[in-house]
Amino acid sequence: MKLDILVFGAHPDDAELGAGATIAKEVARGKKVGIIDLTRGELGTRGSAEIRDREAAAAAKILGVSVRENLQFADGFFVNDQKHQMAVIRMIRKYRPEIVLCNAIDDRHIDHGKGSALVSNACFLSGLIKIDTKMEGDDQWQDPWRPKHVYHYIQWKNLNPDFVMDVSGYIDTKIEAILAYSSQFHDPNSDEPETPISSKNFLDSVNYRARDLGRIIGVDHAEGFTTERFPGIIGFDDLI
What is the per-residue pLDDT for 82?
A: 98
| pLDDT for position 188 | 67
- 225, 103 in Cβ contact below 8 A? no
Q: Which SS3 state, helix, strand or coil, does residue 32 take?
A: coil
User: Residue 83 — φ and ψ, nearest 5°?
Assistant: -60, -50
Q: State how far the Cα of 165 lies from the Cα of 140, in Å rounded to an integer.
A: 38
pLDDT score of 28: 98
Q: Is residue 113 part of a domain?
A: yes
Is 99 within a domain?
yes
* pLDDT value, residue 192: 85
Q: How many domains does the chain have?
A: 1
**204 burial level (CB within 10 Å; 0-12, 13-18, 19+):** exposed
Residue 43 inside a domain? The answer is: yes
Q: Does residue 151 belong to any structural domain of this protein?
A: yes
- Host domain of residue 88: 5-231
Please say whether the beta carbons of 18 and 153 come within 8 A.
yes
Q: pLDDT for 129-138, tens place per residue?
A: 999 999 988 8
Report the CATH number that the domain containing residue 96 is assigned in CATH.
Answer: 3.40.50.10320
Task: Output the tens digit of pLDDT for each of the chain's 240 residues.
Answer: 899 999 999 999 999 999 999 999 999 999 999 999 999 999 999 989 999 999 999 999 999 999 999 999 999 999 999 999 999 999 999 999 999 999 999 999 999 999 999 999 999 999 999 999 999 888 899 999 999 999 999 999 999 999 999 999 999 999 999 999 999 987 767 788 888 888 888 899 999 999 999 999 999 999 999 999 888 889 998 888
